[in-house]
Amino acid sequence: MSEQVDLPLSQLDLRNHMKRTITTAVYPFAGLGDVQSLMYVALGLAGEAGEIANQIKKVARDDGGMVTPARRSTVVDELGDVIWYWLRLCYELGIDPYDVLAHNEKKLAERAANGTVNGDKRGAQSRRAAQEWEADLAEAAGKPDVWAVPQEAVHHLITHTTEPGATAGLAMFVARCRSLRCPTWERRVTQAQGFGPLQQKVMAHIMAEHTPWGRAGRD
């Protein structure tokens, strides 16, 4: 039997964590379920979700498509803010957070059972494309499934090498795809161009060929 690890209550019980958020709830009519308190936490939830979207935008704009440790840390911080506002909204509405999770799980299970989890009857095609995409990534990563693989796609699906260029002393950065789907795909940039343009080409390739939305209508 594995040794039991003593975790903080916040990691063991969402209800207790929700109750403790009142200690940092500084806004009008906090805890009273008043319309002003509902507006405050709902707008805060939307705002923090927007902050996460903004950070992911910066992954593409500023970080060459790579999730850097600093960016990941910032997203973790923003996710914590989202959870705080989510729990506060549950508190203000008198909703058990576990009831929200159970309701969502039941809803998704029903949609999966009737084939409408993607919202329309084209879901079967999308799911097939997604399964093939996941198989590509799992194969490239040497893993039995794709848990956490998508964010590692650049590392596992794409190989990066440096080769001599046509001009003496000028190296070429080369990226090649490991997937059986793309046996001839490669992109090259000169050392003078820098690694950034190559990274953009790699991310464009992954989005176009190794995501279900990129291959939609072509498979």
pLDDT in tens, 98-110: 999 999 999 888 8
Q: What is the average per-residue pLDDT within 90-103?
A: 92
pTM of the model: 0.55
If asked whether residues 106 and 148 sit together in one domain, one would say: no
Per residue in 113-162, pLDDT tens?
776 665 555 556 555 655 666 666 666 555 555 444 455 556 667 888 88
Query: What gap in Å lies between CA 125 and CA 205, rounded to an integer?
Result: 21
Q: Does a structural domain hold residue 198?
A: yes
Domain count, the chain: 2
142 — alpha (psi -120 to 50), left (phi > 0) or beta?
left
What lies within 8 Å, CB to CB, of 25 at 6+ separation is 31, 88
The least confident of 89-93, 163-167, 184-188, 197-201 is 163-167
Q: Does a structural domain hold residue 2?
A: no
Which of the four pLDDT bands, split at 50, 70 and 90, describes residue 76? very high
User: Which of 68, 86, 113 is at the close of a domain?
Assistant: 113
Contact 92, 31 (CB under 8 A): yes
Name the CA dihedral angle for 45, 48, 49, 51, rounded to a multiple of 10 degrees: 160
Q: What is the average per-residue pLDDT within 72-81?
A: 94
Whether the predicted pLDDT of 11 surpasses 80: no
pLDDT at 192: 81
If asked whether residues 83 and 148 sit together in one domain, one would say: no
Q: What is the CATH number of the domain that holds 16?
A: 1.10.287.1080
Residue 58, token pair as written in the block: 């910066």
If asked whether residues 46 and 130 sit together in one domain, one would say: no
Whether the predicted pLDDT of 167 surpasses 90: no
Whether the predicted pLDDT of 32 surpasses 70: yes
If asked whether residues 13 and 108 sit together in one domain, one would say: yes
143: containing domain? 123-215
If asked whether residues 162 and 203 sit together in one domain, one would say: yes
